[in-house]
Amino acid sequence: MMNSRNLPFLATLAIFLIAYALCTMQFPAMFSTRVMGNLLTDNAFLGIAAVGMTFVILSGGIDLSVGSVIAFTSVFVAVLVGKLGVHPLVAFGLVLIMSTAFGAGMGLMIRFLGIPPFVVTLAGMFFARGAAYLISTESVPISHPLLDAIQGFYLRIPGGGRLSALAMLMLVVFAAAIIIAGRTRFGANVYALGGNQQSAELMGVPAGKTTVEIYALSGFLSGLSGLAYTLYTSSGYSLATVGIELDAIAAVVIGGTLLTGGTGLVAGTFLGILIQGLIQTYIVFDGTLSSWWTKIVIGILLFVFIALQRGIIWYSNLRMSRGGGKGALGGVA
């Protein structure tokens, strides 16, 4: 569907392609399958977490607990497998159940106690980070034949690139999320809630159930992201991924999702992740720039996209008021 609401996504796509082309002109080696493979592998855990964040933001909420849940998951798994000798698959199952339940619990509080998501997930952030510190303040190494096998597994792409297991996991998560957002009842409910909660409820969207499901999904994906992080560094560390939720939010917004909810695409978030990864790669290739430029460029991009979104809303409101009833209907759908 080509309309003005897809414009942010298309703008992101254009920015990504232009940026990549410019990078390649300066450093031809950046246009290689190895760099592309690295982009996917190195951002796998961020990407998985950002998928959860996309659903949360689409519904008009926010989840600040993501980074802490990732750290908790990684430390918990590392201690279970590395110190207590639990089988990795059992440990994985256990932490995914815990993180999903944690997310669902936050969803329940948001819905039934009427506390803003910002406050509930802020509390969740402190809680999960504290729990991670409680388990271990040191980085815990983890080694198991199964984990080593997963970590060492990759498909060779022609040109020296590697598609690692983590990259594949992220791609699968994105593919599943695109289907869930676009083709299921749940996905439609998320968009409806974010567009206008009251009218969504009047139209029969089960707001309570959906809210809990959204935060449970974000919790689950944070847990999965934590597992990806554990595999990525073969260790658990309670100080890890501080502030990663903000990177995830940035990726979602740069990907064209409206921070107020209701509009956006999961595929946009994927581009948001790639753009962040691209900036970091460029800085490493250049080798003289301060790495803090990543934050500065992300900041500028965020401003640009928020301005772009305001502009689009302003434009469509203008059209709506001119077009009368027909335009208004289009706005809700």
Partner 1 sequence: MKKALATLAVAVTLSLASSVSAASLTVGFSQIGSESGWRAAETTVTKQEAEKRGVTLKFADAQQKQENQIKAIRGFIAQKVDAIFVAPVVATGWDAVLKEAKEEKIPVILLDREVEAPKDLYLTAVTSDTVHEGKVAGDYLVKDVAGKDCKVVELQGTTGSSPAINRKKGFEQAIAGHANIKIVRSQTGDFTRTKGKEVMESFIKAEGGGKGICAVYAHNDDMAVGAIQAIKEAGLKPGTDIKVVSIDAVPDIFKAMAAGEANATVELTPNMAGPAFDALMAYLKDKKEPPKWIQTESKLYTAKDDPMKVYEAKKGLGY
- List contacts with partner 1 (CB under 8 A): 25-30, 32, 34-35, 38, 41-42, 45, 139-141, 151-152, 229, 232-235, 237, 240-241, 277, 280-281, 283-288, 290-292
Nearer to partner 1, 244 or 267 (CB): 244
Would you say 149 or 307 has its CB closer to partner 1? 149
Shortest Å, Cβ 244 to partner 1 = 9
Q: Which residues neighbour 234 within 8 Å (Cβ) at sequence distance 6 or greater?
A: 141, 142, 143, 147, 148, 151
> Taking the CB of residue 137, how many other CB atoms lie within 10 A of it?
12
Q: How far is the CB of 235 from partner 1 (least distance, A)?
A: 4
Instruction: Give the span between the Cα atoms of 234 and 222, in whole angstroms.
Output: 17
Would you say 36 or 205 has its CB closer to partner 1? 36
Shortest Å distance, C-beta 133 to partner 1: 15
Residues, the chain, total? 333
Decide whether 67 or 107 has the Cβ nearer to partner 1. Answer: 67
Minimum CB distance to partner 1, residue 214 (Å): 27
For residue 62, what are the CA distances in angstroms to 28, 74, 119? 39, 22, 10
Cα 284–Cα 234–Cα 298 angle in degrees, nearest 5: 35
48 close to 174: Cβ distance less than 8 angstroms: no
Return the axis-axis angle of helices 66-77 and 244-254, rounded to nearest 10°: 130
Given a contact cutoff of 8 angstroms between Cβ atoms, the answer to whether 222 and 49 are in contact is yes
Closer residue to partner 1 (CB): 16 or 305: 16
Least distance from partner 1 to the Cβ atom of residue 226, Å: 13
How many of the other CB atoms lie within 10 Å of CB of 319? 13
Write down the least CB distance from residue 179 to partner 1, Å.
29
Considering the complex, state which of residue 279 and residue 301 has its C-beta at the smaller distance from partner 1: 279
